[in-house]
Amino acid sequence: MPDLEQWPTGRLLTTAARLVEHAWNERLVDIGVTHAGVIALGVLADQGAMTQASLAQIVRVQAQTMGKTLSRLESRGHVTRVRNDLDRRSHLVSISPAGRQVLDAADDIERTLVAGGGLVSDELRAHLQVVIRELGAPRWNWAAAAAPAGAPVETPDATDPAATVHS
């Protein structure tokens, strides 16, 4: 086993993030959704129906990337798309009852990934929020102090690999 005590904090953070995402994705397969799908469902559950473009902006991915995620979610009955009455060129996406069930199951998976609930610790969450706000502010053009978690921001540059949600 590596000597974790000697690792710099950044390495600990990135390694932990990769391991959490791998473990989460392995368990999400059982409920038929991806990490990207869970993120999209969570936003729709919290904020209600919206266009694909709005959802992509909030999640900080390109609209085309979100389109692929939504197609998979729609094919499984987790979201519905209806023509937008205000702009007939677009559709409003909303979470379905089946999508809410999947989101609840995904929340249970996240809560139980690490024994003892280590991922839901208020202290860990607060530290991670500080890191995201401080390092995300220049990347996503928002003020570190003024950007609450989940706040809508400008869509990042398509060449930014950190901005891509893999579905």
- Does the pLDDT at position 143 exceed 70? no
User: What is the average pLDDT across 74-90?
Assistant: 88
**Domain ranges in the chain?**
30-163
User: What is the average pLDDT across 66-87?
Assistant: 92
In this structure, are strands 79-83 and 91-95 parallel, antiparallel, or unpaired?
antiparallel
- Does the pLDDT at position 147 exceed 70? no
Encoded tokens for 57? 């902006």
As to burial, measured by CB atoms within 10 angstroms (0-12 exposed, 13-18 middle, 19+ buried), residue 115 is exposed
CATH of 30-163, one of 1.10.8.10, 3.20.20.140, 1.10.10.10, 3.40.190.10: 1.10.10.10
The DSSP element (H or E) to which 92 belongs, if any, is strand 91-95
Q: pLDDT grade, residue 21 (50/70/90)?
A: confident
Q: pLDDT grade, residue 142 (50/70/90)?
A: low
- Does the pLDDT at position 163 exceed 50? no
